[in-house]
């Protein structure tokens, strides 16, 4: 589904990604781990198309289509979803209105009619229930004054609404207490199927107790230095990253 | 002849023409005002209060001072500028003259009528003597100019304990019957104790000709009375407006003025609140959205004279192309005004490199036990917010428009008339060139 080939990326002339190779097939869960500053979030942002980063070499291919020249919204329309490490507060736009706009813009890009209001409402309620989100929460301004946990839960709620092919969860576990983590993980697991894939970006192994990865990759200094099965995560938790340098 | 000379020299003719019924107080007020105007003249950029707004190019026009009203204006010409889906009283002025055919006035529970008749009728002599030109700031020469030619405008007199059942729309049209027109409407509004009124004011040019409107409104809000005042400034590119509004509030009254500036060539708002009692609440809200070479200058003043009062001021601006905004918000807290809560906020977004905003908060605080805050931000659209929205499939243009729309939304939320709220939302969406699939 996703092929990242020899990906190099700069920000302000400084090279952050130094040749990443990664292949993710439908139905798989991959985890990327690594110390601070290794380039984990950059990789997530580059796949999602953040313009601040300059791709100097290599490519990101989704279902055989090179995404390199696509704006972030077009990548989203093609099925890429990025759950932000720090979701942005947007005062004045409610959660409901935001997700309505996102859904309908995506449908428009696919040549579909807007989703009728009744169906939209039904869908919103269904997905909100899945993530144990209070209805009142949906009429609040997007992320404004949300706790860390509420923000992350809201990210997964949006993911549930948009049903992406490839979901990239950037540090979704940070800022979550154990109960919230369980809710979020349960949500992700329920949404997981044979046709989609998940890329987890995380610092700690904790999240991987709840969302079991098929593959774990260690990112260090802009390169994947080791790949393995889920047991690699435990090894990292025990030994830290130093032994890989 | 320069405009100033033309105005001064036409004053005598104006005074002698058809105004013989007028009470002598009115003549005295006019005479004093023309003398003040003759002394001070039009403000220039050397004047601190006019540093960022240049009137000069506008004053070069050969304005017709007393345009003859175009008689052929009918409902079909004006209906687009009225809020039609609400029941309201309407005061329609065409080229400075009251149009009774298009208006709906009342004298039943309250007086919603015109100043010219109030000036001439003995019944209203007390009201005129007590209120006319008593709070208009004599240091504003343009206000003095308006006073010198005071003749016509809205006269709204609400007795005590009266809830005016429907909003009042005041609309001043110009028709272009003369090429370049100077209009000087004058509104006098008195809200009695415990009374409540909602007013919507608008100026609209129906032609392609140049119009300059120099409007003055005096508002008196008595004990525990409430007034919600809305100014819609969405005129054509040929139209300029100088609006001076003065509000005097008695104890426990609440006055809110909401200014929506989306159109016109040049707009200057002088908005002054004077608190004359305790436990008063004054609210000043504004949204300015400009493009091309539009210019809007908001000058506000809140004068806290008594203890335990509040003022809340929130002005937001979005400036595109080569448009220019000015915000000058002055808050005075006098020594006696202990326990004052005064809040002021001015947030601006500059969309294009050629756009500019001059923002100047001015707080003069002489009391020591007060809460006063002011915040002023000038910025561009938040790139990280744009990326966030794009990553959810919202195209960049839509994301921008949505962010801008949301930026102004907390001011729109303060509109208490639902139909007006819808109208303002539409104006904003149109101005930002966005189709929203929902009501914010």
Same domain, B51 and B147: yes
Same domain, B341 and B390: no
**What per-residue confidence (pLDDT) applies to B435?**
63
Q: What pLDDT, in 10s, does the model give residues B166-210?
A: 999 999 999 987 789 999 999 999 999 999 999 999 999 999 999
- Enter the tokens of residue A43: 């990789």
- Average pLDDT over chain B reads 93
CA B130 to chain A, closest CA, distance in angstroms equals 44
Same domain, B357 and B390: no
Is B16 buried (19+), middle (13-18) or exposed (0-12) by CB count in 10 A? exposed
- Enter the tokens of residue B135: 């709070």
Q: What pLDDT, in 10s, does the model give residues A191-241?
A: 999 999 999 999 888 889 899 999 999 999 999 999 999 889 888 888 888
CA–CA–CA angle B209, B215, B216 (5° rounding):
175
Among candidate residues B380, B395, B428, the one where a domain is terminated: B380
Same domain, B237 and B337: no
Same domain, B223 and B303: no
**What per-residue confidence (pLDDT) applies to B432?**
84
Confidence label for B71 from pLDDT (cuts 50, 70 and 90): low
HEC profile for A9-77? EEECCEEEEEEEEEEECCCCEEEEECCCCCCHHHHHHHHHCCCCCEEEEEEEEECCEECCCCCHHHHHH
Same domain, B186 and B325: no
Q: What pLDDT, in 10s, does the model give residues B392-432?
A: 999 998 899 889 988 998 899 999 999 999 999 889 988 88
Q: What pLDDT, in 10s, does the model give residues B354-369?
A: 999 999 999 999 999 9
Residue B268 covered by a domain: no
pLDDT at B381 over 70: yes
Residue B270 covered by a domain: no
**Do the Cβ atoms of B393 and A102 come within 8 Å?**
yes
CATH number at residue A13: 3.40.50.300
**Do the Cβ atoms of A92 and B405 come within 8 Å?**
yes
- Enter the tokens of residue B275: 């608190």
Between strands B180-183 and B89-94, the pairing is unpaired
Chain B residues within an 8 Å CB radius of A51: 387
Mean pLDDT in residue range A139-156: 91
The number of distinct structural domains making up chain A is: 1
0.90 surpassed by pTM: no
Chain A residues within an 8 Å CB radius of B383: 52
pLDDT at B143 over 70: yes
CA B84 to chain A, closest CA, distance in angstroms equals 28
Is B242 buried (19+), middle (13-18) or exposed (0-12) by CB count in 10 A? buried
Same domain, B110 and B96: yes
Which residue segment(s) compose the domain that A145 sits in?
2-244
**Do the Cβ atoms of B387 and A158 come within 8 Å?**
no
Closest residue in B to A91 (Cα–Cα): B406
User: Which among B242, B237, B199, B238 has a CA at the least distance from the CA of B219?
Assistant: B199
Mean pLDDT in residue range B300-323: 97
Q: In this complex, which of B390, B438, B440 lies closest to A72 when CB atoms are compared?
A: B390
- CA B194, CA B254: separation in Å to the nearest integer? 10
Same domain, B290 and B404: no
- Enter the tokens of residue B333: 């807290």
Least confident of A74-83, A164-173, B97-106, B425-434: B425-434
Same domain, B69 and B197: yes
Same domain, B87 and B3: yes
Strand partners, B157: B111, B190
Same domain, B370 and B388: no
Q: What are the residues of chain B with a beta carbon less than 8 Å away from any beta carbon of chain A?
A: 382-385, 387-396, 398-399, 402-403, 405-410, 437-438, 440
Which residue segment(s) compose the domain that B415 sits in?
381-440
Among candidate residues B362, B380, B398, the one where a domain is terminated: B380
**Do the Cβ atoms of A97 and B392 come within 8 Å?**
no
Closest residue in A to B386 (Cα–Cα): A88
The number of distinct structural domains making up chain B is: 3
Same domain, B75 and B17: yes
User: What is the predicted ipTM?
Assistant: 0.95
Q: What percent of chain A has pLDDT over 90?
A: 73
CA B404 to chain A, closest CA, distance in angstroms equals 10
Q: What percent of chain B has pLDDT over 70?
A: 97
State the best of A95, A105, A139 to mutate against chain B, taking most chain B CBs within 10 Å: A105
């Amino acid at each position: 589904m996703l092929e990242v080939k020899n990906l190099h990326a700069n920000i302000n002339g400084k090279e952050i990604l130094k040749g990443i190779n990664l292949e993710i097939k439908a139905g798989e869960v991959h985890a990327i781990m690594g110390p601070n500053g290794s380039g984990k979030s950059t990789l997530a942002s580059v796949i999602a198309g953040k313009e601040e980063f300059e791709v100097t070499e290599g490519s990101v291919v989704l279902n055989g289509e090179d995404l390199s020249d696509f704006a972030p919204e077009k990548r989203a329309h093609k099925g890429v979803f990025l759950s932000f490490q720090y979701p942005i507060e947007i005062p004045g736009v409610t959660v409901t209105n935001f997700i309505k706009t996102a859904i309908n813009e995506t449908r428009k890009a696919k040549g579909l009619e807007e989703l009728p209001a009744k169906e939209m409402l039904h869908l919103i309620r269904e997905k909100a229930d899945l993530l144990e989100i209070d209805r009142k929460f949906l009429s609040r301004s997007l992320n404004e004054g949300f706790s860390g946990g509420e923000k992350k839960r809201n990210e997964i709620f949006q993911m549930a609404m948009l049903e992406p092919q490839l979901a990239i969860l950037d540090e979704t576990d940070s800022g979550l207490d154990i109960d919230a983590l369980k809710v979020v993980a349960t949500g992700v697991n329920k949404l997981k199927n044979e046709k989609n894939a998940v890329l987890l970006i995380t610092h700690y192994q904790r999240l991987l107790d709840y969302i079991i990865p098929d593959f774990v990759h260690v990112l260090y200094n802009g390169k994947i230095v080791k790949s393995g099965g889920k047991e690699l995560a435990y090894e990292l938790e025990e030994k830290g990253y130093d032994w890989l340098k | 002849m320069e405009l100033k000379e033309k105005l001064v020299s036409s004053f005598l003719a104006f005074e002698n023409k058809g105004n013989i019924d007028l009470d002598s107080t009115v003549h005295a007020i006019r005479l004093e005002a023309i003398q003040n105007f003759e002394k001070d003249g039009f403000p220039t950029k050397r004047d601190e209060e006019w540093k960022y707004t240049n009137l000069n190019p506008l004053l070069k026009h050969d304005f017709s001072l007393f345009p003859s009203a175009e008689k052929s204006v009918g409902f079909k010409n004006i209906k687009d500028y009225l809020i039609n889906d609400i029941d309201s009283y309407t005061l329609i002025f065409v080229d400075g003259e009251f149009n009774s055919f298009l208006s709906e006035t009342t004298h039943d529970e309250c007086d919603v009528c015109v100043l010219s008749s109030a000036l001439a009728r003995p019944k209203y002599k007390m009201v005129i003597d007590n209120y006319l030109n008593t709070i208009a700031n004599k240091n504003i020469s343009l206000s003095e100019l308006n006073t010198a030619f005071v003749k016509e405008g809205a006269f709204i007199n609400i007795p005590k304990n009266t809830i005016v059942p429907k909003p009042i729309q005041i609309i001043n049209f110009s028709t272009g019957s003369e090429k370049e027109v100077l209009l000087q409407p004058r509104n006098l509004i008195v809200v009695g104790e415990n009374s409540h009124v909602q007013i919507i004011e608008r100026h609209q040019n129906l032609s392609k000709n140049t119009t300059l409107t120099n409007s003055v409104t005096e508002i008196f809000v008595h004990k525990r009375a409430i007034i919600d005042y809305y100014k819609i400034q969405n005129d054509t590119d040929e139209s300029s407006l100088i609006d001076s509004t003065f509000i005097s509030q008695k104890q426990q009254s609440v006055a809110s003025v909401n200014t929506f500036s989306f159109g016109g060539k040049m707009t200057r708002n002088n908005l002054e609140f004077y608190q004359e009692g305790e436990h008063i609440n004054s609210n000043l809200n504004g949204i300015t959205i400009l493009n091309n070479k539009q210019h809007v200058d908001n000058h506000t003043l809140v004068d806290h004279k008594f203890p335990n009062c509040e003022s809340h001021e929130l002005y937001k601006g979005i400036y595109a192309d080569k448009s220019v905004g000015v915000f000058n918000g002055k808050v005075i807290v006098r020594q006696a005004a202990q326990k004052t809560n005064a809040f002021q906020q001015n947030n601006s977004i500059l969309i294009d490199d050629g756009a500019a905003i001059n923002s100047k908060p001015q707080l003069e605080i002489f009391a020591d036990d007060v809460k006063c805050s002011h915040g002023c931000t000038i910025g561009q659209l938040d790139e990280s917010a744009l990326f966030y929205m794009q990553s959810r499939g919202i195209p960049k243009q839509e994301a921008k428009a949505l962010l801008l729309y949301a930026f102004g939304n907390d001011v729109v939320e303060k509109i208490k008339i639902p139909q007006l709220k819808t109208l303002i939302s539409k104006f904003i969406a149109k101005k930002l060139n966005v189709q929203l699939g929902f009501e914010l």
